[in-house]
Structures are given as C-alpha cells and as structure tokens.
C-alpha cells in the first residue's frame, strides 16, 4: 500500500484542510493518508484550541487514515526543527509522498533546498547583524543569491520540509508535492466575504471570542462546529497561563531559569527583570517588551511556554535521540497499512501508553499533557488524562 503524508496542526480543522486531504489523494493516488499532527501545543508556542484527541477524531472523519502525534520536542520549535522531526517520522512510517500547501506552489522546493545549502556553505558568516533575526538575514541571502523570497509562512515551511529531506537523505524515498494555498491567507484575522475557506487564525479568533458561530459554519465541518459552539478547550495563554508564567519567574533565580530549554544568551535575566518591572502588564504588552529585533515573536512565545511547562534541554535531547511513533487514531484502511508495515519499523509504534513509556520515551509529552489538562475547562479535567489510559481512536465507517 502507498502512503501520502501530511504535516498538520488542525488548529482548528477547517475546509482548507479537507481540500488539502482531497488534493493529496488525487495527486498521489495513495492508498492511505497519514497526518503527522502536533499534539496539545502548536509551533508558535501556544496551547491548541482543542485537544489532540478531538482534532484527531475530526481528521479521521474527514479522510485521514492514520493520525500520528508529532512529539512536543519537534512540534514547538522553529520551522527547520519542526519540519525535520515531522519528515523523519513520516519517513519511518513509510510515506512515499509529502503534500503541503504553499503560497508559491510553482517553486521547485527540492531544487531550492539543494541550492540554498550550497549558498549558505559559501556564505557561512551571513548572520552578522544581531539587530535582525536569523530568518530575515537568511531570506535576504536567498533573495540576493537565488532570486527567491521565502517570507510567506507556507512557503517557508515547504522549504523547511525540502531541507529536511536533503538533510535526512530522503530524496529517493519521499516525493514533494506543493499545492496552491486557496482563498484565505495564513495571517488573515477576519473571516472572508464569500467562499468556504477561512484562515485558522480568523477561525480561532471567532471561537475564542465566542461569537459569530453562524458565520463559522460555512468554513468547518459539522463536528468541528459543534466543538466551536462550546468554546475553546483550554483557557487562553494570556490568562491563567500567563499568571503561572509570572509565578514561575518570580519564584525562580536566574540560575534556575537558565536551566529552561533555550532560555540562554542573556534571556533569563531579561525575563526576570521584565516580570519584576511589568507586574501589571497584559500578556501582549509583556510579549512586546520581551521581543527584540534579534528574535521573532514566535520564538519568544515558545520560550514563555517552555518556562511555564518547565521544559529542560535534556528532555528535548532524549526525544531526539530515542524517536517513536505515537498513534492517536486509525481507520480500517489505516490498520491494514500498519499491519503491513509493523515488521519494517525501525522505531517503536506506541498505541497505548504504559508507565514505562511515561518514565521513558514519552516523559516530556506526558508532562506537558498534564499541564494542558490542568489549564483546561472542567469538562476535560474530569476525563481521562491526555496520555495514560487512552487507546487510539478506531474509525471503521465509510468516509463522510
């Protein structure tokens, strides 16, 4: 059986994602669709608006055959690490094709990644201006040397997937298929007039504000709409999470803060000083003060999340050194594929989390899952934990 891979967040799942699935099937004629989906936290450093089980179930109902969780150690990272982890794990499960959206689907991302590697080797000291982010200086280099602008978010991710394929030596195993992003753009904050595809950003804003669910209906599947009407699964980061962040910082020394993943290069004392000085600031105002020309807003958000979750470098490294596949959901067709592949897998496929997993490979995901549950609404807190006691969702009905 041939498998096509999708790298996703589904935060929330909308009609653009369904189009992505349909196009992936049509382009590749694959037998199964495998989604490598971020868990309870997303790349930009925030909790997902709905938990991973809810999002996995909707994906299965909309045409995905296997939903795997992208571990936190890769999911909440800059684009190159996010892509590297996702591509590596999709390769491990045997995907032959990777289909992704792009603002410029006409780019040859594979050739671009190979050329960019040569360019950066020839200009290894291009990052010399600490008043600009790495991403800005890297893009300037590509514009100057290759005439290609990678400032659009989906183009940047597509390039990162292609880079990962080069770094992992997977050019012969995985074919890249960019598809044109439709209608709404990634950063659009308002629902569009007409059409059936809105950005996830605009949909999240509507759901978080608890209004306009009638307007949301045309952009999402009925199951997603039912969740949206109940409101976000967790409290927003700007609320209780931000209070927890300030508590962590106020009760920690600089030396203790420096043990947090990536809270280095003088960022720990800067964070402590800002928390002391801006006691009454809103989250957005605080983030604006924490951000600098050297670091992107997304990186700062990730650092604040790492601090709340108390993520340590050794925990991240442990996941990188001991990879695994975490199964969240599967269809009957997906089960058949896994049955055919299981003897060929070089890394563990975890379908049910044991105490051994919690103390070993899944220690970090278990830790951050418990924190997600702590900040969830009461309804979620009364359910099973996000990891132990849960079995993969099995869907054996015909696709809707």
d(CA 383, CA 379): 7
15 is in an annotated binding site: yes
Q: What is the count of structural domains for the chain?
A: 1
Residue 306, domain member (yes or no): yes
Could you write out the DSSP letters of every residue in 361-394?
A: TTHHHHHHHHHHHHTB-HHHHTS--SSTT---EE
What single-letter DSSP state applies at residue 195?
A: S
d(CA 225, CA 212): 11
19 is in an annotated binding site: yes
Residue 257, domain member (yes or no): yes
Give the model confidence (pLDDT) of 233-248 as tens digits: 898 899 899 999 999 9
Residue 328, domain member (yes or no): no
Q: Which residues sit opposite 393 in a β-bridge? A: 329
Question: Is the distance from CB of 139 to CB of 68 less than 8 angstroms?
Answer: no
pLDDT band at 324 (very low <50, low <70, confident <90, very high): very high
Residue 292, domain member (yes or no): yes
374 is in an annotated binding site: no
295 is in an annotated binding site: no
8 is in an annotated binding site: yes
Helix axes 52-61, 222-230, angle to 10 degrees: 160
264 is in an annotated binding site: no
Q: Is the pLDDT of residue 128 over 80?
A: no
Residue 243, domain member (yes or no): yes
12 is in an annotated binding site: yes
d(CA 221, CA 228): 11
DSSP H helices, the chain, are 15-28, 52-61, 72-75, 79-92, 109-122, 134-146, 153-167, 200-209, 213-216, 222-230, 242-250, 254-257, 267-277, 283-290, 297-309, 313-321, 332-341, 355-359, 363-374, 378-381
Helix axes 313-321, 363-374, angle to 10 degrees: 130
179 is in an annotated binding site: no
Residue 290, domain member (yes or no): yes
101 is in an annotated binding site: yes
pLDDT band at 139 (very low <50, low <70, confident <90, very high): confident
Average the pLDDT over each of 326-340, 344-358, 380-394 and give the range with the smallest value. 380-394
Could you write out the DSSP letters of every residue in 46-59?
A: EE-SS-HHHHHHHH
Question: Is the distance from CB of 189 to CB of 115 less than 8 angstroms?
Answer: no
Q: Which residues sit opposite 41 in a β-bridge? A: 47
11 is in an annotated binding site: yes
- For 247, the domain range is 237-315
**Residue, of 396 and 382, whose pLDDT is higher:** 396
pLDDT band at 382 (very low <50, low <70, confident <90, very high): low
d(CA 11, CA 35): 13
Which helix (DSSP H) or strand (DSSP E) does residue 173 occupy? none
Question: Is the distance from CB of 3 to CB of 32 less than 8 angstroms?
Answer: yes
Q: Which residues in 367-385 are b (16+ Cβ under 10 Å) and which e?
A: bbbebbbebbeeebeeeee
Residue 282, domain member (yes or no): yes
Average the pLDDT over each of 150-154, 228-232, 352-356, 377-381 and give the range with the smallest value. 377-381
Q: Is the dihedral of CA 85, 90, 94, 97 positive or negative?
A: negative
pLDDT of 380: 55
154 is in an annotated binding site: yes
pLDDT of 134: 67
181 is in an annotated binding site: yes
16 is in an annotated binding site: yes
Give the model confidence (pLDDT) of 205-235 as tens digits: 889 887 667 788 889 999 999 999 888 989 8
Helix axes 267-277, 283-290, angle to 10 degrees: 140
Residue 47, domain member (yes or no): no
Average the pLDDT over each of 149-163, 249-263, 366-380 and give the range with the smallest value. 366-380
């Amino acid at each position: 059986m041939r498998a096509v891979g999708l790298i996703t967040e589904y935060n929330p799942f909308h009609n653009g994602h369904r189009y992505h699935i349909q196009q992936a099937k049509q382009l590749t004629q694959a037998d199964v669709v495998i989604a490598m989906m971020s868990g309870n936290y997303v790349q930009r450093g925030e909790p997902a608006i709905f938990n991973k089980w809810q999002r996995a179930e909707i994906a299965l109902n909309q045409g995905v055959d296997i939903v795997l969780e992208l571990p936190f150690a890769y999911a909440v990272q800059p684009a190159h690490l996010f892509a590297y982890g996702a591509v590596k794990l999709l390769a491990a499960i045997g995907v032959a094709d990777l289909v992704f959206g792009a603002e410029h689907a006409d780019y040859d991302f594979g050739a671009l990644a190979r050329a960019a590697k040569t360019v950066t080797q020839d200009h290894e000291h291009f990052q010399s201006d600490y008043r600009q982010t790495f991403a800005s200086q890297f893009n300037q280099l590509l514009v100057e040397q290759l005439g290609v602008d990678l400032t659009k978010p989906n183009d940047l991710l597509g390039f990162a997937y292609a880079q990962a394929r080069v770094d992992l030596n997977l050019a012969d195993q995985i074919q890249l298929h960019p598809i044109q992003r439709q209608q709404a753009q990634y950063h659009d904050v308002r629902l569009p007039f007409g059409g059936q595809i809105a950005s996830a950003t605009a949909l999240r804003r509507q759901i978080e504000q608890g209004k306009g669910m009638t307007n949301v209906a045309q952009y999402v599947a009925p199951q997603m709409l039912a969740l949206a009407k109940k409101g976000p699964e967790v409290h927003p980061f700007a609320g209780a999470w931000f209070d927890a962040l300030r508590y962590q910082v106020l009760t920690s020394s600089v030396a203790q803060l420096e043990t947090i993943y990536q809270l280095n290069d003088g960022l720990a004392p800067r964070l402590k000083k800002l928390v002391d000085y801006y006691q009454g600031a809103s989250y957005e105002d605080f983030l604006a003060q924490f951000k600098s020309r050297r670091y992107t807003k997304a990186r700062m958000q990730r650092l604040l999340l790492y601090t709340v979750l108390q993520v340590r470098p050794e925990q991240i490294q442990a996941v990188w050194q001991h990879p695994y596949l975490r199964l969240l959901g599967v269809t009957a067709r997906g089960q058949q594929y896994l049955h055919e592949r299981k003897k060929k897998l070089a890394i563990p496929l975890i379908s049910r989390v044991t105490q051994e997993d919690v103390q070993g490979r899944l220690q970090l995901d278990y830790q951050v899952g418990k924190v997600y549950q702590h900040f969830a609404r009461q309804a979620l807190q009364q359910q099973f934990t996000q990891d132990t006691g849960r079995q993969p969702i099995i869907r054996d009905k015909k696709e809707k």
